[in-house]
C-alpha cells in the first residue's frame, strides 16, 4: 500500500536554530496536513494545505512556522527559530479528497524533534 | 471549542480477553469520527471513519459503534492478541474540516 514518508525520523537542534521537516505524501493526494504531539499531550492540528496554499491553520501555527510544496512531491514544515516548547513528534498526513468525503487520513511515521 | 476525550488513558488486558474503551465528543456540529491505531515507531493507521448515528463498523476482531446524539463512540476488541498492543486514537471533525484528537488509550496485551 502506498505510504507517506517523513525524514528525518529524529532531529536534534539548538534553540533558535531553523529546522525543516520533510514529507513525501502519497503521489495522487491533494490535501496535506501537519500535526504534532508533545509528549504526554494530545495530537494537535497545525496546518492544512491544498492547491498550493494554506487552507486552515491553528493558533499554534504562528509566524515562526511555514509550509511549502516546493517541487510537487515534497511537503515541508519549517520552523524558523526553534523554541524548547517546539519539541514534539511531528506528523505529516495526506488525503486524495477533502475531509468532507469522510475518507481516512494517511499518516507518516513522524519526525521526533528535540530542541535543546 | 471542540474537546474530544478518551478513557481510560491506559489499559492492560490479558491475552484472549475482550476489551473496550470510549471516545466522547461534543455532539453539536458533528461531522465524522475517526479511529486510528498507532503502534510505537509506526504511522497511525486508520481503523474506521464513522458518520451515522447508530453506525457499527467491524474489521476482524475490532469493531466500533457511534452515538452522535449523546456524543460517544466505543471501540471493542474481541479475543485480544499481543499484536493489538498500541495506542488507539479517536478524532472528530467539525464543520471546520480538521481532525481534533483525543489523548488516546494505550492498550497493552499481556501474554
Q: Give the integer Cα–Cα distance in Å for B68 and B93.
A: 12
Chain B residues close to A45, C-beta within 8 Å: 98-100
Chain B nearest CA to A4, separation (Å): 9
CB–CB of B101 and A104 under 8 A? no
Encode pLDDT of A63-110 as tens digits.
999 999 988 789 999 999 999 999 999 999 999 876 666 788 999 999
Check CB contact of B40 with chain A, cutoff 8 Å.
no
Let me know: does B19 contact B80? Beta carbons within 8 Å: yes
Q: Give the integer Cα–Cα distance in Å for A73 and A76.
A: 10
How much is the average pLDDT of B67-73?
95
Chain B residues close to A102, C-beta within 8 Å: 32, 49, 51
Q: Give the integer Cα–Cα distance in Å for A48 and B30.
A: 20
Reported as a pLDDT band with limits 50, 70 and 90, residue B25 is very high
Amino acid at each position: 500500500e502506498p505510504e507517506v514518508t517523513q525524514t528525518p525520523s529524529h532531529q536534534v537542534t539548538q534553540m533558535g536554530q531553523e529546522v525543516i521537516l520533510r514529507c513525501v505524501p502519497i503521489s495522487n493526494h491533494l490535501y496535506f496536513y501537519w500535526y504534532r504531539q508533545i509528549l504526554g499531550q494530545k495530537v494537535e492540528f497545525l496546518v492544512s494545505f491544498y492547491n498550493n496554499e494554506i487552507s486552515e491553520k491553528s493558533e499554534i501555527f504562528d509566524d515562526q512556522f511555514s509550509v511549502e510544496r516546493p517541487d510537487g512531491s515534497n511537503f515541508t514544515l519549517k520552523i524558523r527559530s526553534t523554541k524548547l516548547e517546539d519539541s514534539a513528534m511531528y506528523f505529516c498526513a495526506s488525503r486524495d479528497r477533502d475531509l468532507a468525503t469522510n475518507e481516512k487520513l494517511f499518516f507518516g511515521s513522524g519526525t521526533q524533534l528535540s530542541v535543546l | 471549542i471542540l474537546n474530544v476525550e478518551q478513557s481510560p488513558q491506559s489499559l492492560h488486558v490479558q491475552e484472549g480477553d475482550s476489551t473496550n474503551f470510549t471516545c466522547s465528543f461534543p455532539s453539536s456540529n458533528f461531522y465524522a469520527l475517526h479511529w486510528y491505531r498507532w503502534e510505537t515507531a509506526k504511522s497511525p493507521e486508520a481503523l474506521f471513519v464513522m458518520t451515522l448515528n447508530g453506525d457499527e463498523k467491524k474489521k476482524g476482531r475490532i469493531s466500533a459503534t457511534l452515538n452522535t446524539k449523546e456524543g460517544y463512540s466505543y471501540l471493542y476488541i474481541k479475543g485480544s492478541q499481543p499484536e493489538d498492543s498500541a495506542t488507539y486514537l479517536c478524532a472528530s471533525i467539525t464543520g471546520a474540516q480538521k481532525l481534533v484528537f483525543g489523548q488516546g488509550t494505550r492498550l497493552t496485551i499481556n501474554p
